[in-house]
A and B are shown apart, each in its own frame.
Chain A
């Protein structure tokens, strides 16, 4: 066990370094952890051998996988189900367009310009098709639009966008067999039953120090994750869906959500993001930087094609249009999950994985830097009369995504 404890100490040391960097630079912890993973593998790998981090040890893989699953569940649980019900047509249409444009654009770029295989090109499309709900939420919050019907609808559309991404990831690359059918049927039953069963179960047995609620949620996530793996699909698919169907119940239990966040950020996600970074080959990136640029440009252009018209429809002034489009072009977590899925399932090579991760990070960082440096809007909030039918309301305190 000495080796396991030593490896665990090394990973948590790296996680601590990443957290300090994220605090000093005020960058997202996920981003910091990926970069620390890249650098650690590069330096420690060169000095002590490629396997020093033990990224393929089964227990590291388990913690990393659990991190992706629980993080995805929590992301799904931030949905406001009421909006999805009341404006489902608009949110579904916008979400599908938001997915389809970059999915097809990036897949086409990978296939036609980079001459990747068909499946690798589809994976590039999936990895670069996400819209970061967190980025859009932050923009909405800053503009005071998160409580308006428009803001809620756009946020719900982002959830739909990411949902389609996860479904595409879970189904495109898995062979359609009897296993797939069983997986889909069990999921459907679970998604219908859980919103009814869960609150009743929690009311009857929950609210005690034994943390029954957390065990129940983890049981669901791991059980359906196992089923997804059995069907050669991706465990984050049922996790995101369970989060969405339980958003109206578990998602509103702030105490439980905060406990799960502590578990996730304190132990699980550092393993996931550092591991994702450790597979990046800096040599491959240095050898063909143009590949990264092609993927990055494809992501930015195709995403903008989807987002910019929406800002025109809602009559954003010119600078705000550019600002919002730049920010909405980013995506980090689902992009890295998709790329890692491709690598571990042999859909893409390590070099292709490295380009995709670089493009995902680039699309998360570069637009933010440009937006903050050059596009701080002069008049930050257009007045109600200028915005047409958009009603601005003050930002309520403690407002969640749900």
Chain B
């Protein structure tokens, strides 16, 4: 196992997934790729979309600092990336790009609203369906 992709959205479940992924990466001496996906509003609207993307990226970059410190304590230097779009789509795509062996993501469960589920669907379910590699959903 050489490359792990960890999907991170700043939620509590994502923090759990990060802790799990970090542990796995340390054990296997693998490269940990932390990916966050900025979601434009649905439907994307003028000016607001750019604002949401910029704000999301700034928030993710801020979170990455803390994650980086945690990882460095354990002797690991993760790679961080922010993409924009549908979360499941971008996670699968990024995993293919870096030829990941495993995708790790947190289980959002009931924290998504009904409309959120309709718009985005279950992210973990879609990643499981379309990913080229092993997928671990951390509860």
Chain A residues in the interface with B (C-beta under 8 A)? 22, 24-31, 71, 74-75, 78, 132-135, 137-138, 141-142, 258, 261, 264-265, 327, 330, 332-333, 364-365, 367-369, 372-373, 376-378, 380-381, 395, 397-398, 400-401
Contact = CB atoms under 8 A, between A and B. Distances in A.
A134 B120 contact: no
Given A265-B51, A376-B88, A395-B84, A30 B42 contact: no
Given A24-B113, A27-B43, A29-B48, 16 more contacts: A28-B41, A28-B43, A29-B41, A71-B46, A78-B47, A132-B43, A134-B49, A141-B85, A142-B90, A265-B48, A330-B43, A364-B43, A368-B42, A376-B88, A376-B130, A398-B57
A30 B48 contact: yes
Which interface class (under 10, 10 to 19, 20 to 34, 35 or more) fits B? 35 or more
A197 B45 CA distance: 31
Tell me the dominant secondary structure on chain B's binding face: helix
Given A25-B113, A134-B48, A372 B39 contact: no
Contact of A373 (B44, B82, B89, B118): B118
A71 B119 contact: no
A68 B3 CA distance: 48
9 contacts: A25-B115, A135-B43, A135-B44, A137-B44, A138-B44, A141-B85, A261-B51, A330-B43, A378-B130
Contacts of B84: 138, 141-142, 395
Contacts, number: 125
Interface in B24-73: 39-51, 53-54, 57
B12 interface: no
B93 interface: yes
A138 B119 contact: no
Tell me the dominant secondary structure on chain A's binding face: helix
Contacts of A401: 50
A264 B120 CA distance: 28
Contacts of B44: 28, 132, 134-135, 137-138
B58 to A, nearest CB: 9
Contacts of A137: 44, 49-50
B120 to A, nearest CB: 7
A376 to B, nearest CB: 7
Contacts of A142: 84-86, 89-90
A25 B120 CA distance: 11
B46 A25 contact: no
Contacts of A398: 54, 57
A138 B119 CA distance: 15
B126 interface: yes
A335 B47 CA distance: 15
B23 interface: no
Nearest to A133: B46
Interface string B76-95: 00000011111011101100
Given A138-B49, A372-B119, A27 B42 contact: yes
B86 A372 contact: yes
B113 to A, nearest CB: 6
Contact of B45 (A31, A141, A372, A378): A31
Contacts of B90: 142
Contacts of B41: 22, 26-29
A379 B120 CA distance: 17
Contact of A71 (B42, B47, B86): B47
Contacts of B51: 258, 261, 265
Nearest to A394: B97
A400 B44 CA distance: 14
B47 A75 contact: yes
Which 5 A-B residue pairs are closest in the complex by CB-CB distance? A142-B85, A28-B45, A134-B44, A28-B41, A138-B44
B99 interface: no
A166 to B, nearest CB: 12
A336 to B, nearest CB: 11
A205 to B, nearest CB: 26
Contacts of A327: 43
A74 B45 CA distance: 12
Contacts of B89: 142, 376-377, 380
